[in-house]
Amino acid sequence: MRLTRRAVLGALMGTAAGAAFANAPTRSIRPEPRDPELARTFVKPVEALIDEIGLTGKVGFVVADAETGEVLEQRSPLLALPPASVTKAITACYALDALGPDHRFTTRIRATGPVVDGIVQGDIVLVGGGDPGLDTDALGDMARDLKAAGVSALTGKFRVSSGVLPTFASIDPRQPDHVGYNPSVSGLNLNYNRVHFQWKREQGDYTVSMDARAQRFSPAVSVARMRVVDRSMPVYTYSDAGGSDEWTVARPALGQGGSRWLPVRKPEAYVAEVFETLARSHGIALPRAEFTGAPPDGEDLVVRDSKPLDEILREMLLWSTNLTAEVAGLSATAARGVQPATLADSADEMSRWAHDALGAGHAALVDHSGLSDASRVSARDMVDALLAARRIGALPGLLKNMPMRDEAGNVMPDHPVTIRAKTGTLNFVSALAGYVSVAGGRDMVFAYFSADMDAREAAADSGDEIPAGARSWKGKSRLLQQKLIERWGTAFSA
């Protein structure tokens, strides 16, 4: 049921802002709280709303006027919690600053010698440029273009270079092995570094396949292998077999048939095998790939550019693709002249940049996607960052529109409040930050972070992708987000 304007004004006009932030900094870069007199007119504290919803853990939020920076309401503004995928909003700003909106990631096929009568007098080198969106169809088109360039064979080696970025086997090692949103990261990526696993029950047994699926091409791969085994738990196991990813799956979990995406841990070997298959389909027989760091000099026979960076980032914020965030962040760090040894090193560089460029003075990030729960950002710092991003025009146009919903989750199409924001979700962690426009044309900036870290830690040992209670907790947190935005939209309209 929607709140009336009168009810919301009576309930909202006051927050614990004055008391909760009695020692607020006086620097003008920080938004200043409203008159603490509002707290005395507060009828229904936010704490009561949290209790009604039954949300456990901790909650911190800030909402501020987008033009003046005046804080309209806040609760625990300096409480630092995991930002989850809200991190990607900072990453987008970081990448745009270092690389520019027109930056493109370029993948090349290079020859180290001339082509004579269709034969490369030397090596053929597949050179990665970090493109996070490269898929099997695009790689198939590059194989076709190599054939069109007159190549049919080579005298040397087939080499693969991903040295433009370091390679990491996963984003967050604490995640379950089998989740596709925690893939490897490299300077040469394919299908978001995921492999398609499909199974079907036939005559009492299962047939399984692993392929590099796209819309037009789906070549089978052997660099990732699956065995069905008789056990109840765990559903999946992973082991590194040196040259391949070895998976097992529990037979009782399969049912009649299905499919899912699994992460790839050896991205260069994955890309090499798929390209060898696609080249072979065009009559180009390549020897088994060898892997190199920096690519050798030579002539580029085929060049494929990605979409412009601003389009890539818009899609990243829409679909929350973790690989894109890590590639964008690592590429930005490299462009700043820093060669990180770990994702955390690069994220630390991004944190320092966010302090200086966005005013997020205490943000402490360990990756660029928000997948790790070790990152910490306060609502106050996130609002400062969003205000700065708005001033320079870096972010609002990239964030997705989010409709207001009623308590049943149904979209309210004619609602006067419009939101452009980024969500963030981990088990027992929920965040939302962005921009709100309300009746009368007033624009606001907000950040909301919530987490029950005790419940998250208790669930970590279960190994479940979605542990018991996580869905219910997320639903309560999102309901609180919705109610807060509804209140702000009514109380603070122009």
Residue 439 has pLDDT above 90, yes or no: no
* Cα 483 to Cα 66, 292, 295, 407, distances in angstroms: 20, 54, 54, 9
The predicted structure's pLDDT at residue 43: 41
How much is the pLDDT for 48? 85
For 180-215, what is each residue's pLDDT tens digit? 999 999 999 999 999 999 999 998 899 999 999 999
Global pTM exceeds 0.75: yes
pLDDT score, position 31: 54
Pick 105-306's CATH classification: 3.40.50.880, 3.40.640.10, 3.30.70.260, 3.50.80.20: 3.50.80.20
CATH match for 5-100+310-491 among 1.10.357.10, 3.40.710.10, 1.10.1370.30, 3.40.50.2300: 3.40.710.10
Q: Is the pLDDT of residue 127 over 70?
A: yes
* Strand-by-strand arrangement of the 257-263 sheet: 205-211, 194-202, 257-263
Tens-digit pLDDT profile for residues 259-307: 999 999 999 999 999 999 999 999 999 999 999 989 999 999 999 999 9
Segment 148-169 shows an average pLDDT of 97
The mean pLDDT of 69-76, rounded to a whole number, is: 96
How far apart are the C-alpha atoms of 18 and 21, rounded to whole Å?
5
436 pLDDT more than 60: yes
Q: What is the C-alpha to C-alpha distance for residues 124 and 121, in angstroms, rounded to an integer? A: 9
Pairing between β-strand 119-120 and β-strand 290-292 as defined by DSSP bridges:
unpaired
Provide the residue ranges of all domains of the chain, joining segments of one domain with +: 5-100+310-491, 105-306
pLDDT-based confidence at 1, cuts 50/70/90? very low
Computed over every residue of the chain, the mean pLDDT equals 91
Q: Above 80 in pLDDT, residue 405? A: yes
Buried b (16+ CB within 10 A) or exposed e, 256-291: eeeeebbbbbbbbbbbbbbbbbbbeeeebebeebee
pLDDT at 18 over 90: no
> Identical fold at 5-100+310-491 and 105-306?
no
Q: Omega before 295 cis (within 30°)?
A: no
User: d(Cα 59, Cα 286) in Å, to the nearest integer?
Assistant: 56
- The CB density around residue 299, as the number of other CB atoms within 10 Å, is 15
The H or E element that residue 111 is part of is strand 106-111
Q: Is 355 left (phi over 0), alpha (psi -120 to 50) or beta?
A: alpha
The rounded distance, in Å, linking the Cα atoms of 177 and 246 is 11
